[in-house]
Amino acid sequence: MKKKRLVLRTIILGLFVAALGYTVYANSNKDKSTIKVGETAPDFALETLDGKKVKLSDMKGKGVFLNFWGTWCKPCEKEMPYMEKSYQFYKDKNIEILAVNIGESNLAVTTFVDRHRLTFPILMDRQSQVTDHYQIGPIPTTFLIDKNGVIKKVITGSMTQETVNEYMRLIEPK
């Protein structure tokens, strides 16, 4: 009986060690490429709150203010009115804001959008696929993308009205 238990425990321990080894191996061989300033922004397609599909590549010719955010994020909430005010001024100057919500429900996002009277496109990254691809850590994180689809700057953390306006001017097509 003791010998059977020992064999069973040894087999379980061996499977555990093999699984652990495989996990370490798989994670060490992942593509570690990062998205850098000066590179073309990776294309993606997400749906808006009202179900329309938006592709980043469809924005060629426009400056894109790509913001990753969440309703629970206080710095995100603080900068949203600044983004809205700038959007009202710059939307006719060929600049688009795409605000990518990370994995929240339509109800939570709609409530937030209505409360803050946001009019720019809110994209829903329900499975966090775009968020993962863009390697988003802390939020808010914003990518400034020029009319050719090239990343000009990456901003992590909250912005003021002045900095949002400055960033809009940076990506304004000439």
Please write the tens of the pLDDT for every residue from 56-114. 999 999 999 999 999 999 999 999 999 999 999 999 999 999 999 999 999 999 999 99
Q: What is the pLDDT of residue 20?
A: 58
**Residues 86, 168: contact at Cβ < 8 Å?**
yes
Average confidence (pLDDT) over 115-123: 96
Look up residue 38 and give its two tokens. 């000066």
Please write the tens of the pLDDT for every residue from 146-168. 999 999 999 999 999 999 999 99
Strand-pair partners of 125: 102
Q: What is the pLDDT of residue 24?
A: 54
Distances (CA, A) of 39 to 58, 128, 134, 145, 146: 17, 22, 12, 10, 11
Write out the E strands in the chain: 45-48, 53-55, 63-69, 95-102, 122-125, 141-145, 151-156
CB proximity list for 40: less than 8 A, separation 6 or greater:
148, 149, 150, 151
Residue 115, SS3 per DSSP: helix
